[in-house]
């Protein structure tokens, strides 16, 4: 699998248009596209081959308009497991020079893939072809994964309020953050056929104005965690679960912070309102303040926080 190198950078969102500005002359700008994901807990793997990334169309007139037609940002295929990008971001397109202008769409062409899912107490693989090159050697394919139109016209990345993409020649490198929501993009085909279908939910935003949700957990005064079997329950056994507006779920275990506080930090989030839940270890009943689930609203470039305090905990 092609490795993806992580890069930290920023983007500017202004006046309802996503402006991808860059250094260079007056007729070109530079564009970088970064990929992230918030997976669902049903999936063990979600692998896709992205063969082309391009900007399409123009809001200018048809004759001589800059940005008219297709501007290819990437034509070298790359295969990646989307689940490895949870709470992370990786370069899909880096520092590509393109003509300045205003583009209507950013599109991905996906030419193959497979998902490995938990089903009926086991693990099953659904692939676009039994010979799909992204499959590990010796993998048994249990069924078909359909990708309608993904390999032809490509899949449109949705920006907030259907904003156009305007490339200028201003100074600075600007980056698009693309969120490929696995839990909302793959599902069973209708009619009990046993097939899976990819109907991607891919959203774009700016990296500078993406945000994060920091969830903390601590014991309330006088609260003691129970012993289950021979093991003492710890706060590290609890998890935070972030749920986006489309129902995509991302669990994250708490890790020890300072002064007895445990932390789960969800990064690279598109602005919006999220549900934040608290899940305890098996066999533990608990209450918290605030109650769970609760909500967190992520603003542009801002951190939201949810501070849970356990008010009671006992063995079931």
CATH number, domain of 246, equals 2.60.40.10
Mean pLDDT for the chain overall: 77
> pLDDT at position 39, please?
47
In a domain, 46, yes or no: yes
CB neighbour class for 95 (10 Å; exposed up to 12, middle 13-18, buried from 19): middle
Residue 197 has pLDDT above 80, yes or no: yes
Ranges 96-105, 157-166, 257-266: which has the least confidence: 157-166
Q: Are strands 211-219 and 303-315 parallel, antiparallel or unpaired?
A: parallel
> pLDDT at position 7, please?
25
Please indicate, yes or no, whether residues 178 and 289 belong to a single structural domain of this protein: no
Please indicate, yes or no, whether residues 163 and 261 belong to a single structural domain of this protein: no
Residue 207 has pLDDT above 80, yes or no: no
Residue 63 has pLDDT above 80, yes or no: no
- The H or E element spanning position 183 is helix 182-185
Please report, for residues 3, 4, 13, the alpha-carbon distance to residue 150 in angstroms, rounded to integers and kept in the order given: 23, 22, 28
- The H or E element spanning position 184 is helix 182-185
Q: Are strands 174-180 and 28-36 parallel, antiparallel or unpaired?
A: parallel
Which one is predicted more confidently, 164 or 312? 312
Please indicate, yes or no, whether residues 107 and 222 belong to a single structural domain of this protein: no
Please indicate, yes or no, whether residues 86 and 118 belong to a single structural domain of this protein: yes
Residue 15 has pLDDT above 50, yes or no: no
Please indicate, yes or no, whether residues 159 and 34 belong to a single structural domain of this protein: yes
User: For residue 115, what are the β-bridge partners?
Assistant: 46, 126
User: Hey, is 269 helix, strand or coil?
Assistant: strand
> pLDDT at position 22, please?
33
> pLDDT at position 73, please?
87
**Residue 309 near residue 278 (C-beta atoms within 8 A):** no
Of 182, 206, 230, which marks where a domain is finished? 206
Of 140, 175, 206, which marks where a domain is finished? 206
CA distance 316 to 312: 12
> pLDDT at position 23, please?
34
Please indicate, yes or no, whether residues 127 and 230 belong to a single structural domain of this protein: no
- The H or E element spanning position 182 is helix 182-185
Q: Are strands 78-81 and 231-232 parallel, antiparallel or unpaired?
A: unpaired
In a domain, 65, yes or no: yes
Q: Report the pLDDT averaged over residues 250-262.
A: 92
Q: Report the pLDDT averaged over residues 228-232.
A: 91
Q: Report the pLDDT averaged over residues 7-24.
A: 29
Print the domain residue range for 179.
12-206
Residue 68 has pLDDT above 70, yes or no: no
CA 306 to chain centre: 21
Residue 314 has pLDDT above 90, yes or no: yes
In a domain, 2, yes or no: no
In a domain, 305, yes or no: yes
Please indicate, yes or no, whether residues 111 and 26 belong to a single structural domain of this protein: yes
Ranges 56-60, 134-138, 177-181, 269-273: which has the least confidence: 56-60
> pLDDT at position 81, please?
86
Which one is predicted more confidently, 190 or 289? 289
> How many domains is the chain partitioned into structurally?
2
CA angle in degrees (0–180, nearest 5) for 210-255-119: 80
Residue 313 has pLDDT above 90, yes or no: yes
In a domain, 3, yes or no: no
Please indicate, yes or no, whether residues 102 and 215 belong to a single structural domain of this protein: no
How does DSSP assign 82-103, residue by residue? Answer: GGGGBT--EEEEEEEEEE-EEE
Please indicate, yes or no, whether residues 170 and 111 belong to a single structural domain of this protein: yes
Please indicate, yes or no, whether residues 183 and 220 belong to a single structural domain of this protein: no
User: Is the pTM for the entire model greater than 0.75?
Assistant: no
Ranges 16-25, 34-43, 119-128, 196-205: which has the least confidence: 16-25
In a domain, 6, yes or no: no
Tell me which range, 35-49, 92-106, 145-159, 292-306, is most confidently predicted by mean pLDDT.
292-306
Please indicate, yes or no, whether residues 34 and 167 belong to a single structural domain of this protein: yes
The two structure tokens encoding residue 143? 């069924």
Residue 56: closest CA among 92, 93, 107, 109: 107
**Residue 286 near residue 225 (C-beta atoms within 8 A):** no
Please report, for residues 18, 21, 62, 86, 204, the alpha-carbon distance to residue 297 in angstroms, rounded to integers and kept in the order given: 21, 28, 41, 19, 18
Please indicate, yes or no, whether residues 217 and 159 belong to a single structural domain of this protein: no
Of 156, 177, 206, which marks where a domain is finished? 206
- The H or E element spanning position 309 is strand 303-315
Q: Are strands 227-228 and 211-219 parallel, antiparallel or unpaired?
A: unpaired
Residue 228 has pLDDT above 80, yes or no: yes
Which one is predicted more confidently, 104 or 307? 307
Assign 190 a pLDDT band (cuts: 50, 70, 90). low
In a domain, 152, yes or no: yes
In a domain, 5, yes or no: no
């Amino acid at each position: 699998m092609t490795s993806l190198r992580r890069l930290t950078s920023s983007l500017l969102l202004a006046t309802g248009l996503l402006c991808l500005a860059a250094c260079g002359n007056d007729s070109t700008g530079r564009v970088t596209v970064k990929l992230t994901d918030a997976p669902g807990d049903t999936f063990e793997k979600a692998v896709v081959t992205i063969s082309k990334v391009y900007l399409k169309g123009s809001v200018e007139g048809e004759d001589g308009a800059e940005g008219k037609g297709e501007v290819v940002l990437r034509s070298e295929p790359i295969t990646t497991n989307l689940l490895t990008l949870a709470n992370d971001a990786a370069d899909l397109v880096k520092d590509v020079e393109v003509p300045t202008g205003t583009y209507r769409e950013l599109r991905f062409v996906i030419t193959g893939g497979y998902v490995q899912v938990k089903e009926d107490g086991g693990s099953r693989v659904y692939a676009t072809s039994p010979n799909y090159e992204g499959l590990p050697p010796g993998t048994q394919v249990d069924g078909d994964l359909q990708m309608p139109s993904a390999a032809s016209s490509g899949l449109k990345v949705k920006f907030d309020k259907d904003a156009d993409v305007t490339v200028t020649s201003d100074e600075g490198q600007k980056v698009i953050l693309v969120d490929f929501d696995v839990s909302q993009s793959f599902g069973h085909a209708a009619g009990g056929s046993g097939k899976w279908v990819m109907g991607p939910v891919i959203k774009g935003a700016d990296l500078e104005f993406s945000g994060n949700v920091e969830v903390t957990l601590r014991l309330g005064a006088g609260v003691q965690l129970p012993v289950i079997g021979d093991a003492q329950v710890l706060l590290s056994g609890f998890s935070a679960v972030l749920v986006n507006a489309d129902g995509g779920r991302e669990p994250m275990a708490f890790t020890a912070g300072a002064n007895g506080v445990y932390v789960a930090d969800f990064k690279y989030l598109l602005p919006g309102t999220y549900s934040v839940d608290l899940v305890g270890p098996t066999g533990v009943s608990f209450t918290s303040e605030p109650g769970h689930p609760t909500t967190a609203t992520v603003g542009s470039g801002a951190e939201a926080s949810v501070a849970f305090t356990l008010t009671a905990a006992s063995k079931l």
